[in-house]
Structure 1
Amino acid sequence: MENSKIELVNFAVSMPKKMKYGTGKEMETGICKDTVEEAFLSKQGFRGDGVGDLRHHGGLDRAVCMYSYEHYSLWNQEFQTSLPLSAFGENLTVTNMLKRDVCIGAVYRLGDAVIQITQGRIPCSTITKRTNIPHLLKRIVETGFTGYLCRVLKEGIVRKDSDITLIEPHPKRVSILFGNRVYFDKHQGREGIQKVLEVEELADDWREKLAGRLDKLI
């Protein structure tokens, strides 16, 4: 819940690097993050961090990627595995920031920086290649446990033991979980789409796509 103490379980960054997958295949990706002690967070993201696919990842609205630590036990149990922390390429693995509780537009203090939730994370096939679990990607979309992205309102140093504190809840109360259901369910009606679009702080990419879908329904 938003009033529970948030714990930063793992803090990770990395520039894109080669990752082997499948039967001797290789790709350049930023999903394989390394745990760090501290890093400076700028408007563009953490210093020393990067993405392999600039079209679908990164940018001011997607400067920070977060994932709920609680979901790891779910995936480990369901797929009888032991996923490493930051398996989904997130910078921050956190407790007490579940998708049902975290709202688009909410503002959090993160160490010396300030961040704002902008959208749910859109998972891609790189997760399958990283984890070697074929059905995990489908389950992530089905559950809405995708992780979420943030823009940076105030730059600053973040450390592995930095506090994360909700400093400005969003009055519209549109959760990441609700936003994901609307975004990934192409059969969602006008009401759900409009509710998400009413959040002014929504990421531009999501706003453009959802507005386009809404226009087709009118």
Structure 2
Amino acid sequence: MGTLISVNVGRPEPTEYSDPGVTAIGKKPVDGPVEVTAPTERKGVSGLAGDAICDVRHHGGVDQAVYAYAREELDVWAEELGRALPDGVFGENLTTTGLAVSDAVIGERWRIGETLLLEVSATRIPCRTFAGWMEQERWVRTFTDRARPGAYLRVLTPGVIRSGDAITVVHTPEHGVSSADVFRALHSRAPEVLPLMLDLPGLAEGHRESAAKRLGV
């Protein structure tokens, strides 16, 4: 069992390093309850009330409704980078403790609060906006090399959450393919995972299509 230590949402801010010219990657903790619902569009809509999605081509929607990252991994990054990394700094909606989020299995289900049920669906693909926001030289390469991507989740049952809520893993598929495995596969670090992705239950369709393209099928 894990704990939700922070619920984070972002507001649009102007930027020079994002294609739309605005970004909401700099998410901030919210005091009090936050409603989480299932977006109806594939892209462009967050699952969290009050959370903006600026790059509607690549973020949000059903398969990327909620992004989670572990506080433990943020602490490792903070030590490596020599700077404070507050909750939400990686653009995560949920900052957790007690869960190995990057190693969460695709299709794994989390219960948070009284009713919210989430399912691990996708991995993160580091982008130009993330690099510009972090202001770290060769950040995309560094993040890719570490392969600690956190995880995206879809909303199966809507609910209301707040910091301090327990996170209970209620189902873990037996196939064992994690968010980190998919991340490595999509970055040419684990080609043996690509065939598994073609029929992997719960995997985001965009990732499945990417695997098929790389395999030429």
User: What TM-score bracket applies, with the shorter chain setting the length?
Assistant: 0.7 to 0.9
Match of 2:75 in 1: 73
CA offsets, 1:149-200, max 9 Å, x none?
0110001111112211101111211111211111111x754x4211233312
Q: Does the Cα contact within 8 Å between 2:102 and 2:150 map onto a contact in 1?
A: no
CA offsets, 1:51-76, max 9 Å, x none?
11011101100000011111122222
Q: Does the Cα contact within 8 Å between 1:113 and 1:154 map onto a contact in 2?
A: yes
Aligned residue pair count: 206
Return the alpha-carbon distance in structure 1 between the equivalents of residues 187 and 100 of structure 2: 18
Amino acid across the alignment from 1:125: R
Report deviation, 1:110: 1.6
Q: Which runs of 4+ in 1 moved over 3 A?
A: none
Match of 1:34 in 2: 28
Return the alpha-carbon distance in structure 2 between the equivalents of residues 209 and 143 of structure 1: 21
Match of 1:207 in 2: 208
Return the alpha-carbon distance in structure 2 between the equivalents of residues 172 and 61 of structure 1: 19
Return the alpha-carbon distance in structure 2 between the equivalents of residues 80 and 141 of structure 1: 19
Q: Does the Cα contact within 8 Å between 1:83 and 1:131 map onto a contact in 2?
A: no
Match of 1:108 in 2: 110
Amino acid across the alignment from 2:156: L
Return the alpha-carbon distance in structure 1 between the equivalents of residues 110 and 75 of structure 2: 25
Percentage of identical aligned residues? 31
Amino acid across the alignment from 1:50: A
- Tell me the TM-score normalised to structure 1 length: 0.87
Structure 2: runs of 5 or more not aligned:
40-46
With 78-87 and 148-157 compared, the bigger mean Cα shift is at: 78-87
Tell me how large the CA RMSD over aligned residues is. Answer: 1.9
Match of 2:10 in 1: 14
Structure 1: runs of 5 or more not aligned:
none
Return the alpha-carbon distance in structure 2 between the equivalents of residues 19 and 143 of structure 1: 26
